[in-house]
């Protein structure tokens, strides 16, 4: 095994620091306070060629893989610029479209997605289904020529700023499906089409992207808007869900590094009773413990990404990486908060803002409990618990 990054990979990891020179923590905080999509930052990432990391070169992308996308997210988050839209757009939608979309869909959307001209979101979660995706009820009924889409999605990141959504719907209701995984179809849906209504949700977490509900009322879809095959969409969903977990793990790793940097700097500079507070084991050990766990989380994240890139099973690693990285990030932020004392709770330091974000990562896009269920059953062979 080679644990060293290539020169190109190191440049991708370092890109976040370069971005931060123009778009620092103040910019991210201002956009987060306003819950306003950071379009200037998004355009810069596009201009620098990083929205299309996982898109083939013939469609305007870089033709790289999951490892590079994870490094990009880790580096951006480590510089204080975590963006959930990098998860749902470039990682989930564009990469899936590149692998399973028709030539018509690829030409229509991939170059525009890589250039930042079009913004994409991913819509699977429903209020009455939650983590049980089998139970979604959003239905696309065929009318002989195309489909009419009706239903509701919730907690859809950045739907208010997106032009298109990759929507997971049923074309066969669960009660009529021979198997619970049958009857799923993925559609590329224009969010400005008649019958689409987007309603932002009130989520008081410091991120610039809004969470939204989307309502579909007999939205007309043509067969050309299908991604993959009708009724057989479930087979390709894990090519989206595992990358989502890997890149969210990378975000957590980056945020943990960012928080620990603040904690270490303060512990080295702040003096009490004539010595830096970092010389006291009561403060040094929690930081060292958190640092170790962040490094361990990074290794599992890299392994999950490497497995995915090599076409090997990545489910176990993706789930373990997401679980452990979120827990490690929470510990990293909490340790840094404690070291900073009262100063850690000020807006200038910004650590308290991060706490809500890393705590959110324990719950989304899949909860800690479901990750542990997966590890217990699928990895360790324990009896199914749900």
What is the overall mean pLDDT for the chain?
A: 94
Three-state DSSP state, 365: coil
Pull the structure tokens for residue 235.
């087979």
pLDDT tens-digit profile of 338-383? 999 998 898 888 898 899 999 999 999 999 999 999 999 999 999 9
Can you name the residues that pair with 185 across neighbouring β-strands?
169
Categorize the per-residue pLDDT at 240 as very low, low, confident or very high, splitting at 50, 70 and 90: confident
Average pLDDT rounded to a whole number, residues 271-275: 90
Q: What is the DSSP string of 161-179?
A: T-SEEEEEEESS-GGG-SS
CA nearest neighbour of 298 among 324, 333, 259, 261: 324
Q: Report the 10 Å Cβ neighbour count for 383.
A: 6
Categorize the per-residue pLDDT at 220 as very low, low, confident or very high, splitting at 50, 70 and 90: very high
Q: What are phi and psi of 277, to 5 degrees?
A: -65, -20
Does residue 191 surpass a pLDDT of 90? Answer: yes
Three-state DSSP state, 24: coil
Categorize the per-residue pLDDT at 239 as very low, low, confident or very high, splitting at 50, 70 and 90: confident
Instruction: Return the axis-axis angle of helices 234-269 and 66-78, rounded to nearest 10°.
Output: 30
pLDDT value at residue 310: 94
Categorize the per-residue pLDDT at 298 as very low, low, confident or very high, splitting at 50, 70 and 90: very high
Model pTM above 0.85 = yes
Cα 324 to Cα 36, 46, 208, distances in angstroms: 30, 31, 25
Cβ contact 48:15 at 8 Å:
yes
Does residue 15 surpass a pLDDT of 80? Answer: yes
Poorest-pLDDT segment among 45-59, 131-145, 222-236, 368-382: 131-145
How many Cα atoms sit within 13 Å of 347 on the Cβ side?
A: 7
pLDDT value at residue 356: 92
pLDDT tens-digit profile of 311-320? 999 999 999 9
Cα 319 to Cα 11, 32, 104, 160, 376, distances in angstroms: 27, 28, 34, 29, 11
What is the percent of the chain where pLDDT is above 70?
A: 100
Q: Which domains does the chain have, with CATH numbers?
A: 7-118 (1.10.540.10), 121-232 (2.40.110.10), 235-379 (1.20.140.10)
Categorize the per-residue pLDDT at 120 as very low, low, confident or very high, splitting at 50, 70 and 90: very high
């Amino acid at each position: 095994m080679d644990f060293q990054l290539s020169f190109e990979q190191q440049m991708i990891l370092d890109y976040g620091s370069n971005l931060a020179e123009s778009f620092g923590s103040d910019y991210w905080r201002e956009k987060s306070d306003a819950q306003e999509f950071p379009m200037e930052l998004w355009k810069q990432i596009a201009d620098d060629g990083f929205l299309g990391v996982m898109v083939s070169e013939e469609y305007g992308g870089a033709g790289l893989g999951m490892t590079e996308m994870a490094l990009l997210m880790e580096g951006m988050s480590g510089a204080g610029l975590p963006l959930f839209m990098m998860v749902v757009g470039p990682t989930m939608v564009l990469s899936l479209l590149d692998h399973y979309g028709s030539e018509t869909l690829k030409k229509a959307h991939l170059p525009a997605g890589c250039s930042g001209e079009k913004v994409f979101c991913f819509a699977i979660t429903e209020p009455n289904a939650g983590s049980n995706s089998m139970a979604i009820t959003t239905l696309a009924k065929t009318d002989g020529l195309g489909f009419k889409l009706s239903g509701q999605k919730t907690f859809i990141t950045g739907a208010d700023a997106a032009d298109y959504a990759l929507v997971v719907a049923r074309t066969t209701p669960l009660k009529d499906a021979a198997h619970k995984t049958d009857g799923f179809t993925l559609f590329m849906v224009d969010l400005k089409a008649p019958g689409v209504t987007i309603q932002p949700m009130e989520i008081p977490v410091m991120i610039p992207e809004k969470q939204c509900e989307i309502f579909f009322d007999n939205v007309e879809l043509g067969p050309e808007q299908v991604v993959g095959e009708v009724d057989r969409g479930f087979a390709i969903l894990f090519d989206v869900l595992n990358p989502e977990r890997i890149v969210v793990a990378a975000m957590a790793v980056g945020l943990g590094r960012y928080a620990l940097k603040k904690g270490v700097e303060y512990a080295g500079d702040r003096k009490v009773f004539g010595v830096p507070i970092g010389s006291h084991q009561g403060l040094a050990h929690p930081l060292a413990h958190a640092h170790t766990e962040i490094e361990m989380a990074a290794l599992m994240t890299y392994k999950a990404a490497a497995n995915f890139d090599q076409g090997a099973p990545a489910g176990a690693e993706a789930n373990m990486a997401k679980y452990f990285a979120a827990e490690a990030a929470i510990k990293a932020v909490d340790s840094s908060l404690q070291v900073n004392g009262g100063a850690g709770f000020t807006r200038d330091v910004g650590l308290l803002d991060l706490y809500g974000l890393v705590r959110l990562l324990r719950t989304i896009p899949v909860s800690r409990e479901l990750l542990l269920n997966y590890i217990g059953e699928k990895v360790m062979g324990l009896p199914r618990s749900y």
